Amino acid sequence: MMELTGQSFLGSRRGTRSGAGFQAQNPQTSEALTPLYYSATPAEVDEAIELASWAFASYSQTSGKARAAFLRRAADGFDAHKQELAERAHLETALPMPRLLGEVGRTAGQLRMFAGVVEEGSWVQSRIDPAMPDRQPLPRPDIRSMLRPLGVVAVFGASNFPLAFSVAGGDTASALAAGCPVVVKAHPAHPGTSELAGHILAEAVGAEGLHPGVFSLLFDAGVEAGSALVRHPLVRAVAFTGSLRAGRALMDLAAARPDPIPCFTEMSSGNPVFVLPGALRKGPAALAATLFGSFTLGAGQFCTKPGIVLVPEAPEGQAFFDELKALVEKSAPFTLLTSGIAREYGRATKERAAEIPAAAQAAAEAGPACMAGAKLFTVCLEEFLAKPALADEIFGPNTLLVHCDSTQDFARAAAALDGHLTATLLGDDDDLAANRELIQVLEQKAGRLIFNGMPTGVEVTHAMVHGGPYPATSDPRFTSVGSLAIYRFARPVCYQGFPQAMLPPELQDGNPLGIIRLRDGKLEQQA
């Protein structure tokens, strides 16, 4: 058992117990959980960042193999403490144990995926344009480039995945893999889980003999530590998953710096689902059950929760609504992550309910503490298009059915959408072929297009894109899940006219690391 002390991690040192205290709350009981957590003082925030900046000098020079060993040691730590992590997370989040045990596994898996990527090494996009000493009118010098780490990265833990998107989640794993030291701001809703994850990472840093500044973890009851992180001159990039309001505030802080820095925030997504005729024909009951399972998964607190469902009017369309209504009305309360989320869920669903006739909605009873009832709303397309607020994400177990006259209206509905993480099409192959134009519009609106699946399943693979145009994220060119996530934290650096001995191995003649490289823009022949 790892001890919980409530203190921040400043590299290998622990923070003081002088900052404002706060405690996690059990969302099922509203009980405060021990221990008391201490907000990092401004001096401690600075210390963590300065340590990280010192660490960069050596950590940025480590080999992919060394970083892989470090990430794998951390992954082993998660495996070794699986039960302990899941139990604490369960107390702090009320998420079910099987889900949390799975999430520990995913966290370890993400660390190992990035270990594999940097051990193999080709991710650095090595490019070599050899010298042309005889070129007229001037010789061409030798020019080589590869990706190098950005510098210190500030990571903000998310509330809804207390492990996989938190202290040692995908943001931290990808930044560390890229060669960037990380300073994490823990999410205050699960400080105990965060401290356990911090222990595992700090131990891995020590065991691998890395500079202790490679990883720090700051607790804070408020927003001061986070703001200080984003403003600090030595911080070179930011990664965040959370609400639109908080994410936009960080984007604005990063953009207002004397020297703006890359700030990837993953924020808000309605994850529209387009129900094509073939899907309804297969039976509205099964479809309703699948959709209900998806929008209530994790108590409806997934970034990829299907919050907007477009259905064509048809006999099956009504049956689909009736099935979904029945599922919602008989559902047991869902425990939300925090009392703040529960309050906001109550407020936002009440506001939406007031705009919609009673016959066009369904609701389950809420419970005590953070327990909320599932909600279903329906509107017609014209109303949806006339009231943009209907497209706003409401975090929690609810969704909005949008009734369209026919699938002819889908392209118009799609064109009106903001950016989303996902867009889903349900139907048969003929439906898909008949909706090429719709797909082209959706491609502009989302980072991931799904055919006949639910968006809540997010695979951690090489081709995964968990991103999308604003407000889904701050920058549609990046993803926070999958191995492409590493590209948020690296920048190309070009070496011109350098002697072989002074080049990184990734750029040396003979390709000592055996990586994929481009020579004059063409794939280099393997030796």
Instruction: Output the CA torsion 118→120→126→130 (10° steps).
Output: 150
Among 66, 475, 505, 508, binds a second copy (CB under 8 A): 475
Contact 511, 527 (CB under 8 A): yes
Told to check if 138 binds a second copy by CB under 8 A, we report: yes
The rounded distance, in Å, linking the Cα atoms of 173 and 110 is: 7
Contact 11, 213 (CB under 8 A): yes
Q: Which stretch binds a second copy (CB under 8 A): 239-247, 296-304, 374-382, 477-485?
A: 477-485
- Looking only at residues 145 through 164 of this chain, which bind a second copy when binding is defined by CB under 8 A? 145, 148, 150-151
Q: Which amino acid is residue 359, in one-letter code?
A: A
Q: Which stretch binds a second copy (CB under 8 A): 192-200, 338-346, 358-366, 440-448?
A: 440-448
Told to check if 371 binds a second copy by CB under 8 A, we report: no
DSSP string computed for 318-363 = HHHHHHHHHHHHTPPPEE-S-HHHHHHHHHHHHHHHHTS-GGGEEE
Binding-site size for a second copy (CB under 8 A) equals 83
Contact 160, 337 (CB under 8 A): yes
Q: What's 84's DSSP letter?
A: H
Q: Smallest gap, in angstroms, from Cβ of residue 307 to a second copy? A: 18
Residue number with CB closer to a second copy (61 or 406)? 61
Can 180 be counted among the known catalytic residues?
Answer: no
Q: Smallest gap, in angstroms, from Cβ of residue 357 to a second copy? A: 31
Among 222, 368, 457, 514, binds a second copy (CB under 8 A): 457
Among 282, 451, 505, 508, binds a second copy (CB under 8 A): 451
- Looking only at residues 226 through 245 of this chain, which bind a second copy when binding is defined by CB under 8 A? 236
Q: Smallest gap, in angstroms, from Cβ of residue 64 to a second copy? A: 14
Among 127, 305, 325, 403, binds a second copy (CB under 8 A): 127
Where helices occur in 137-275 by DSSP H, the ranges are 170-178, 191-207, 224-231, 244-256
Told to check if 521 binds a second copy by CB under 8 A, we report: yes
Q: Smallest gap, in angstroms, from Cβ of residue 458 to a second copy? A: 10
- Of the residues 303, 316, 370, 404, only one is catalytic, namely 303
Nearest to 114 by CA among 513, 487, 507, 477: 487
State the binding string over 400-439 for a second copy (x if CB under 8 A, else -): ------------------xx---------x--xx--x--x
Nearest to 162 by CA among 212, 87, 109, 58: 87
Residue-wise burial string across 494-511, b where 16 or more C-beta atoms lie within 10 A, e elsewhere: ebeebeeeebbebbbeeb
Nearest to 295 by CA among 196, 451, 401: 401
SS3 for 41-68 is: CHHHHHHHHHHHHHHHHHHCCCCHHHHH
Q: Smallest gap, in angstroms, from Cβ of residue 423 to a second copy? A: 10
- Of the residues 92, 119, 266, 393, only one is catalytic, namely 266
- Looking only at residues 42 through 101 of this chain, which bind a second copy when binding is defined by CB under 8 A? 57, 60-61
Q: Smallest gap, in angstroms, from Cβ of residue 139 to a second copy? A: 10
Q: What positions carry a catalytic annotation?
A: 266, 303
